């Protein structure tokens, strides 16, 4: 039975040029510009709601010169690949003064759920797109789709086939051999109509009959060998309940949904290329019957997004969740949009990424670092700077008075003076990074070691005098003395020339916060191609620790993003943070430091 192709069906999809996105190119722009110039869609009418030709007849011209759609099946969470499709469909509509429909392709009752519908709408909105009034469901067209199917029967272009599924498969032929006709193919329209109505009335069990189009069992294109368009499914649908027990198949429902909605450019991924002939056949026949009107929508295929170090197959993502390799669909390591959001990735970053990689017809694989760089660029612009010490070690300034404290001033963004400065409390005992002290400095080490001077960023210059160790020889405290006339921003500061500049926090003022450092989920670039992709998981994809952070970060709201100086971009987790107790996730480091 013909069902929706998956990208895994495409044997040729492995031709991998590592596309280094150079010039932005998008062949669909040329297609749309040509169509607009030629006025190809100018004759469309719009009756205000989707529907067959009769709904639009006599209505005013369609106000939208271009209509695209994003048509997910509500059977999973959206991933990075969907983000490409969303940016493309909504972006083209926006750029050409058109509209993009949000449509759920909910024709398969058994796998679909409201939970997915909600999360998909949320993700599209989060990416920054708005479908206005144009939220549609293929299930809203069940009545029309059914009536159109009766029309196909009446015109002699469809028949009820009562063969078993195995017999149907066996008579379908192969890529090199034609199929052969079903013994039911010449059933009268009368008999098929009667059977189809009884299928709908619930008289038959699942799998006993299907409705097939009568096209050509010898066609070189297997999709045209009398594809099934309706099957019996005694199943509850998340929107239509138990109203139906026959459900349309994807190829049939999709092209008709496009036509009912006056879609102009129906954009999909390459695995649907061989379905286009069927798409055209169906809508053209319906136009011949007078049920649809010209101009009809046209399908265009583009190369799906593949990313290194990532799997985007829904089946594999489900496996990662179900077998608990990750903590859920929204685990910040997952390539889902809910995961990315928790990770601290930004909608602006995704939109920039979609622009940068362009749209082509050639399969390729984009390096994950391109996406990370897009996130980094937007976060660099938008994230205020803060201080966090991820691996804290105590630094004591022996010549600073015990109970004294004062403020140092740090800019909230080095290139944006208008964002102001904030006070960083300074006192005798500080937290510094453990790696910023070395008892025996390696060559070229400019940070703290006995006898060396460094600047405490935004504060004083200090000179290291030694360290205290516990009985096992672990370094517990570093000791130093400071130069009272060296404070940053004071006239004396320039007299001190030091090579090292380290960050710090006042131990009395900082507080401990949970931090999660994420790394790539897979350790090899093409996990999807491996025999067992689970074996390619990176065992160190998450490290959890307790960091010392600036006191003001206590008030960070969920989803607030920051640059922790020298450590990268972090977000207050929207799930695990509590009022006054945010948990921070690292979105990306400051530079591409992946050495895998």
Stretch of 33-41, 81-89, 280-288, 389-397 contacting ligand ATP, by CB under 6 A:
81-89
Indicate the residue among 85 and 548 with the shorter CB distance to ligand ATP.
Answer: 85
CA–CA separation, 412 and 193 (whole Å):
72
Least CB distance from residue 82 to ligand ATP, whole Å?
5
Indicate the residue among 310 and 549 with the shorter CB distance to ligand ATP.
Answer: 310
3-state secondary structure string, 38-101? HCCCCCCECCCCCCCHHHHCCCCECCCCCEEEECCCCCCCCEHHHHHHHHHHHHHHHHCCCEEE
Least CB distance from residue 256 to ligand ATP, whole Å?
16
Indicate the residue among 358 and 500 with the shorter CB distance to ligand ATP.
Answer: 358
Indicate the residue among 6 and 545 with the shorter CB distance to ligand ATP.
Answer: 6
Q: Which of residues 267-296 bind ligand ATP (CB under 6 A)?
A: 268-269
343 close to 332: Cβ distance less than 8 angstroms? yes
Site string for ligand ATP, 35-74 (x = CB under 6 A): ------------------------------------xxx-
Indicate the residue among 277 and 438 with the shorter CB distance to ligand ATP.
Answer: 277
Biggest distance spanned by C-alpha atoms of the chain: 102
Q: Which of residues 3-32 bind ligand ATP (CB under 6 A)?
A: 4, 6
239 close to 267: Cβ distance less than 8 angstroms? no
Q: Residue 173 region, left (φ>0) first, then alpha (ψ -120 to 50), else beta?
A: left
Q: Which residue is nearest to ligand ATP (CB)?
A: 81
423 close to 407: Cβ distance less than 8 angstroms? yes
CA–CA separation, 66 and 94 (whole Å):
9
Among 44, 56, 67, 82, binds ligand ATP (CB under 6 A): 82
Of 551, 554, 509, 547, nearest to 405 by C-alpha is 509
Element (H, E) at 562: strand 561-564
State the Cα angle at 474 between 469 and 478, rounded to 5°. 50
Among 67, 84, 103, 231, binds ligand ATP (CB under 6 A): 84
Least CB distance from residue 315 to ligand ATP, whole Å?
7
Contact flag: residue 297 with ligand ATP (CB under 6 A): no
Site string for ligand ATP, 223-262 (x = CB under 6 A): ----------------------------------------
Among 99, 117, 305, 588, binds ligand ATP (CB under 6 A): 305
Least CB distance from residue 153 to ligand ATP, whole Å?
28
The 388-389 sheet, strands edge to edge: 385-386, 561-564, 568-572, 584-588, 511-518, 542-549, 388-389
| Catalytic residue status for 304 | yes
Indicate the residue among 253 and 408 with the shorter CB distance to ligand ATP.
Answer: 253
Give me the catalytic one of 44, 67, 73, 285.
73
Those residues whose C-beta lies under 8 Å from the C-beta of residue 138, and which sit 6 or more positions away, are: 71, 103, 104, 105, 106, 107, 248, 253, 254, 257
Give me the catalytic one of 304, 447, 520, 586.
304
Give me the catalytic one of 314, 434, 523, 566.
314
CA–CA separation, 582 and 553 (whole Å):
8
Indicate the residue among 85 and 139 with the shorter CB distance to ligand ATP.
Answer: 85
Phi, psi dihedrals of residue 311, rounded to the nearest 5°: -110, 140
Q: Which residues here bind ligand ATP, judged by CB under 6 A?
A: 4, 6, 71-73, 81-82, 84-85, 268-269, 304-305, 312, 314
Catalytic site positions = 73, 304, 314
């Amino acid at each position: 039975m013909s069902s929706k192709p998956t990208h895994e069906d495409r044997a040729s999809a492995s031709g991998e040029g590592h596309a280094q996105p150079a010039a932005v190119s998008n062949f669909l722009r040329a297609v749309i510009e040509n169509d607009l110039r030629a006025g190809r869609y100018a004759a469309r009418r719009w009756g205000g709601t989707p529907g067959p030709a009769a709904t639009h007849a006599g209505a005013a011209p369609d106000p939208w010169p271009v209509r695209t759609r994003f048509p997910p099946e509500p059977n999973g969470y959206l991933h990075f690949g969907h983000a490409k499709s969303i940016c493309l469909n909504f972006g083209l509509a926006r750029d050409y003064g058109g509209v993009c429909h949000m449509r759920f392709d909910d024709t398969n009752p058994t796998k679909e759920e409201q939970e997915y519908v909600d999360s998909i709408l949320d993700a599209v909105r989060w990416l920054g797109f708005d479908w206005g009034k144009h939220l549609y469901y293929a299930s809203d067209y069940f009545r029309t789709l059914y009536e159109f199917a009766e029309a196909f029967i009446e015109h002699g272009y469809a028949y009820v086939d009562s063969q078993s599924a195995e017999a149907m498969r066996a008579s379908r032929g192969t890529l090199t051999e034609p199929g052969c006709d079903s013994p039911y193919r010449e059933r009268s329209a009368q008999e098929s109509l009667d059977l189809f109505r009884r299928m709908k009335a619930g008289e038959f069990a699942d799998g006993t009959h299907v409705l097939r189009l009568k096209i050509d069992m010898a066609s070189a294109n297997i999709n045209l060998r009398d594809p099934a368009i309706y099957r019996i499914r005694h199943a509850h649908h998340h929107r239509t309940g138990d109203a139906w027990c026959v459900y349309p198949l994807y190829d049939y429902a999709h092209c008709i949904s496009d036509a009912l909605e006056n879609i102009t450019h129906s954009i999909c991924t390459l695995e649907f290329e061989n379905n286009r002939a069927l798409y055209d056949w169906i809508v053209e026949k319906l136009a011949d019957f007078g049920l649809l009107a010209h101009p009809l929508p046209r399908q265009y295929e583009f190369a799906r997004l593949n990313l290194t170090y990532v799997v985007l197959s829904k089946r594999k993502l489900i496996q990662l969740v179900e077998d608990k390799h990750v903590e859920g669909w929204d685990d910040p390591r997952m390539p889902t949009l809910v995961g990315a959001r928790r990770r601290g990735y930004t909608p602006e970053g995704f939109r920039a990424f979609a622009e940068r990689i362009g749209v082509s017809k050639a399969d390729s694989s984009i390096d994950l670092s391109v996406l990370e760089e897009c996130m980094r660029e937007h976060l660099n612009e938008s994230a205020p700077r803060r201080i966090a010490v991820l691996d804290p070690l105590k630094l004591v300034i022996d010549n600073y008075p015990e109970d004294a404290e004062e403020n140092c001033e740090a800019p909230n963004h080095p290139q944006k003076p208008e964002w102001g400065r904030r006070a960083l409390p300074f006192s005798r005992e500080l937290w510094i990074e453990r790696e910023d002290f070395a008892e025996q400095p390696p060559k070229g080490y400019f940070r703290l070691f006995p006898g060396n001077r460094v600047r405490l960023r935004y504060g004083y210059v200090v000179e290291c005098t030694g360290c205290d160790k516990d009985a096992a020889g672990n370094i517990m405290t570093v000791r130093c003395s400071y130069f009272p006339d060296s404070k940053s921003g004071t006239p004396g500061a320039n007299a001190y020339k030091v090579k090292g500049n380290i960050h710090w926090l006042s131990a009395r003022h900082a507080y401990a916060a949970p931090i999660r450092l994420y790394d790539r989920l897979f350790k090899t670039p093409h996990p999807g191609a491996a025999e067992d992709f689970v074996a390619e998981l990176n065992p160190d994809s998450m490290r959890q620790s307790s960091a010392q952070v600036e006191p003001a970060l206590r008030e960070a709201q969920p989803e607030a993003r920051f640059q922790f100086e020298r450590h990268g971009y972090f977000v207050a987790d929207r799930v695990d943070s509590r009022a006054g107790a945010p948990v921070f996730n690292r979105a990306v480091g400051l530079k591409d430091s992946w050495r895998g």
